[in-house]
Amino acid sequence: MVISQSALVNEEVPLALLEYSRYRLTNAMQIKIDIRLRAQETQFTTNVLIWHLSLLLDSMIEIQNILMEISASFQARRKETLSSRKTRLSMHSFQPLAIQTSRGDDYFIEAFPFRSHSDEQSPPHVIAYRLGSAQVSAITMFLNPFSDNAESKDWEQVNLAQLRFPVGMTYADVTGNGFNDVIIIDEYGPSMDDLWMDGGRIIWLQNSGNSKTGNWRQRFIGRSPGMHRVKAGHFTTRDRIQVAGFPIIIRAGDRNSPAPVVIFTAPESPEDDDQVWAKEVAPFIFRKSAICEHICAVLKSVDGGLDKILIAGREGITLIWYDEVVKTWMSKNIGSGGPQSPGNPYWGSGCVALGKIGLDTSGFIGTIEAFHGNRVAVYVKDKNDHPGEIANAKWTRHVLHEFGDLNARHEGYLHHVICADIDGDGDDELLVACMESNPPSLERTGFWCYKPVDIRAGKFSKFKLTDESAARIAVANFRSSNLLDFATISYSQVPGHFESPSPSVILHASSLIAVSRLNDEIELVERHLDV
């Protein structure tokens, strides 16, 4: 383990002790060199050898004693840290690697595992696309050059489809043949105030089984106006793949009418276009206002049960699930999010992600407030709540960061949150994509990371990892199974919103240099990891 001198000083180890330890170690190394040199001389006597060895032994014993003192100091400091829960935190840096630069515009990015079976996986590819305008948008798959069977060192492009106004996407093995298919929304319309009332189409692009083959076959799932985000899972049945669709609003400009959650269930033979996907609208009569959902999180079952869904909207954060015993949908409001303010059509929450703390798969809930908001917040559980518990837990909201005032449209700078353990310490970090500001400001642009310090008290340490505009984040083992990297896409050319001056898709590769922060001090420490 490499310990820098500054790190030791910050842990209150006396500087004189460190300097003396360095001196004795240098002296011991010189003695060792002298022994080797003199052993080659014929006049080197046994007594001289014994004398040098005794000096070396004395030095090593003294160094050992010093190290024991240092260890004791660290142990005392550790006890103090654990009792106060004020942990020294660090976050390694990430090296930007261009996937594609000088793009016309940008909107969505997703890590795409080509195969559905984890034991057959290569590093995932990247799918990226723009929202579109008068022209169609290319749904592009960038082939991962770090894959074992990659034929190029560049991110080769394969166009899967040409669509009009695509928005959210996800993936699932719809056919069960071992290859993931793309599930995507298109025909959304130019903006929330110019929705296509006959749009909101959900389709799936059938994986050809060959990553070099483009123009995947398009197959229809369903449609609903204002459809904005989509997730795949098993929500009411385990027998068939299901797709949950989340409209942002139900008609152009209407920010007051409640928006539905629509569940589509695959037919017996999804490849047969004559078989339709069954459609069900989840009956959430508890909703009293528009949802304006911007993102939702699917909580995958770990025991073979049904999946649950966390939704962000005007009502804050709400957990919904289907109860198999009583055969009905259930819901639980986790928290109300940001408060309503005069003239502002957005309140509550705009994005949600579930974070893991140790063995607790529901250690915290991260969110931004509200729609395209300016506030990062978390919900944490009571210390007596069981690991994995969500619906019956007692949640407390904590605001972590305010990014400044909203603009004249009542919108801020934040677009996406995700939770992932990017430093490998066993606890998830909250990762936030910040679009851009007008006028430009580095404090309101880029990729931000919030690392848990004292989870019960809702305390997180903040790091900024990139300065480029970020519309969305994709976290995955893009280069190695031992390291998590992340990819970002700029937010640009979305009508009525921010426009990045240099739209790009960037892979941010996990580096071997750690950035540590304690109060206002910054320290760089080398990391030793197997890549």
Q: Which residues have a catalytic role annotated? A: 228
Rounded-to-integer distance, Cα 112 and Cα 341, Å = 39
CA neighbor of 331 nearest in space, from 398, 288, 284, 372: 284
Instruction: Report the SS3 class of residue 121.
Output: coil
Q: How many CB atoms lie within 10 A of CB 230?
A: 22
Q: How many CB atoms lie within 10 A of CB 66?
A: 18
Rounded-to-integer distance, Cα 426 and Cα 51, Å = 51
Give the E-state strand segments of 173-270 in sequence order: 181-186, 201-206, 217-223, 227-233, 242-247, 262-265
Cα angle for residues 413, 418, 423 (degrees, 5° grid): 115
Distances, alpha carbon 40 to alpha carbons 43, 44, 350, in Å: 9, 8, 75
Give the E-state strand segments of 403-482 in sequence order: 414-420, 429-434, 446-454, 459-466, 472-480
Sheet holding 157-163, edge to edge: 108-112, 125-129, 137-142, 157-163
Rounded-to-integer distance, Cα 488 and Cα 16, Å = 46
Query: What angle separates helix 46-84 from helix 15-38, to the nearest 10 degrees?
Result: 150
CA neighbor of 260 nearest in space, from 234, 300, 220, 223: 223
Distances, alpha carbon 114 to alpha carbons 3, 110, 123, 183, in Å: 41, 12, 9, 13
Greatest CA span in the chain, whole angstroms?
A: 99
C-alpha torsion angle, residues 127, 130, 136, 139 (rounded to 10) = 0
